[in-house]
Structure 1
Amino acid sequence: MEKFSDALAEGLKNYHFNSQDYNRLLAKALNDPDVKKFLVENQDNISSDAIDVSAAAIYEFYNQKNNKSEINRNYYPKLIVSNHNIEVAYFPNKQKVEADQRKAYDSSLVLMDMPKDIRNANLNDYTGVGRKQAFDAAIKFIDSYLNSDGFIPGLYLSGDFGVGKTYLLGAIANELHHHNVKTTMMHFPTFAVEMKNSIGKNNVLDKVNKVKAAEILMLDDIGADSMSSWIRDEVLGVILQYRMQESLPTFFSSNFSMKELESHLGINQRGEREPVKAARIMERVRYLSMEVFVTGENRRIKQ
């Protein structure tokens, strides 16, 4: 923005106004309420010839303030004192600040096949019967993660349909965002389907690598669908093994308890029992997260 200001000021200085035009334009600028206020408030800080020397800057301020352009669409001009002369500085307006905040939010919270209202999830709204234990665990994790250099396991939220497991994950992610912590939150059954569809495109590894390295990873609804041996071992297993090695907090939500999920993962898509492979996955899950039971009424039915 500073380069634009300099260029515009230089252009105005070199433009050949006649005396009458120049005086008329400068008079308009000097009669602007904000200009008058600035001159009064800074009369002790500017030189006696500041108005003459800084005429281009004063008019630039007046012009940018009162006319729409690519510049003032996102920024607003402000008069400042520099070396006892008057200059124009540009600052982001409310629209620009909000846009930048949305952009920063979108980059710090990656939602993969998650409902959009998760972006509005708030811990202050996570109230009701059966939720206190999970709420307390969430607060404890956030506080510990932000104030500790060691590994802090995530949460494994288990409970019936509609009790608020996914909402709580979103609320935790939003709170972490306010502390500049980046989170990736995904609906795992949908991700599993996408991985199967990516086999022929040779980009499975790229997708797995991107997910496994997330600062905070949240796997929603794990165990909701039957899982092939390939998804369990080569996708989920690879992700969890990396995160365990790197001590990266991982969250889960499931309608199964950890014990029930182990039984679920122990039967492959052909109905064959594979308890050892399931136990290997659950060893990583238990290392990466702490199980918390969420109870209460099914709020989906209530709505």
Structure 2
Amino acid sequence: MFGGFIYASFRRGRVVPGIWLMLGIVAMSWLESPYDNAMYAQFHPDFHRLPNWGPIGMTEGGLPWIAPVGYNMWFLLPALIAVVVARALVKRTGWSLPSTLLAAGLGVGLVWDFTIEALQAQYLHLWTFSRAVPGLAVSNDMGLYPLYCALAMGSFMMGAAYIIGNVTPDGDSVLDAWAKSRATTPGGVRWLQAFAYIGFCMVLYFSKYIPLAITKYAGMMTQTGVLVPYPGEIGLQPESGGPQSHGAIGALIVWGLLIGFVILFVYWAKAMDRKYIRPTVDSPPPPKPVPVR
């Protein structure tokens, strides 16, 4: 993917949104450890681990070193697939591109995350979740796969598909257009682009982490799988304190906030499209110069 984006940037003489988005995804990958902690996630002992520095030490047993690079495969590849699907649907049906990108991104993201995580949880046991809020969790002999994980990850892929698929005729995403509207020099634009893409990824990921952190630290994850999935290798993840209870309330919090954040993002995406993308698409082309006879 990186090679493809480099080639596209060379052909177009500009940095394409895909490279900026890859930067944002790598920059946010440290959030994997807090997410793992909130999800009671553990990785197979055979993974090589990053040092337990600061927040990246929150994964019980250590965070695999492949996480930062693997994040681009996990989040960006299905987003690219969703862009292809959305553009094919728009061409066939005439639907609105922004809305189709959002729907295709969420749909492909849900299928992507569910297929990979549920299958690996059932057969490979590369990682597992030991606790979840009750209901809608796929159980196996190693742990759990809660379906709200697919919604959380799929909604990020929805955002990624929207950013790289909804562009101006010049190839600018809403984040690029925002940066160009705020800076007057090429260097200033690039700094704002980096800030915008990193901030976008951070905020989008935090919106998935918040509901899980609330239920983890409030002790509402009452559905259990195997609490020590790798005995003798990785110990029990520390509990949040006190007995786990109020699981039904926890389920309402998780599903309600995740769905609410999806709705909020759709509202933001359409508002940004009207402000930065539609004017460039709908405006008539400049008149051709009349030759002087």
Q: Which has the higher helix share?
A: 2
Higher relative contact order (CA 8 A, sep 6+): 2
> Structure 2-normalised TM-score?
0.25
Q: Which has the higher strand share?
A: 1
Higher Cα Rg: structure 1 or 2?
A: 1
